[in-house]
Structure 1
Amino acid sequence: MQQSRPRIYSESDVWDMLTELGLVGSFRMQCYQFLCENEQKKRQIFGIPPEMRLDALFHFMTAAGVRLGDMVLPENIHHYRNPKI
């Protein structure tokens, strides 16, 4: 029986995911740095369904004591909170 290896997420994977979530500028960089410095949180965020990742990311960062501002473009919030099926 062949053992599967855990998926390794690159910095590029993190950047692309944050871009898809609509994070911009210094906010995207803050989230990028947080995830790239924390392998466990990086694996966890990719294990969460895409439509729930933004809320999970805010939760992870808040729990770690990171101060959050208005990190998402308003037009993208609706898409990720109420995705079209």
Structure 2
Amino acid sequence: MVASLVIGIIFLVAGLGLRYWINRRKFYRRSPMGAEGFSSYESSVFIKLIEKIGKWAAYALIIFGLLSLWVYSREKKEDKEQQNVKIQKPV
């Protein structure tokens, strides 16, 4: 039960951190005129491809982290309901 909470938090933070890092690199690559500066065409294509893959990976991490947190909340709710049933049952 606690594992899904820890995994959810780790994946959520990792996904948000990856998105932040990619967007920060993109921001600092821009010139004052707003155009992105690359040393060559090949590096432009390669970097944009890697960033696109990284963004999709970040989205997947965020979604997986949110799903893990949801599973944790459902497990916690079910445990609480089971404890209430045990307490309310007459012996």
TM-score normalized with structure 1 length: 0.30
Query: Which protein is bigger by CA-based radius of gyration?
Result: 2
Structure richer in helix, relative to its length: 2
RCO comparison, higher one (Cα < 8 Å, 6+): 2
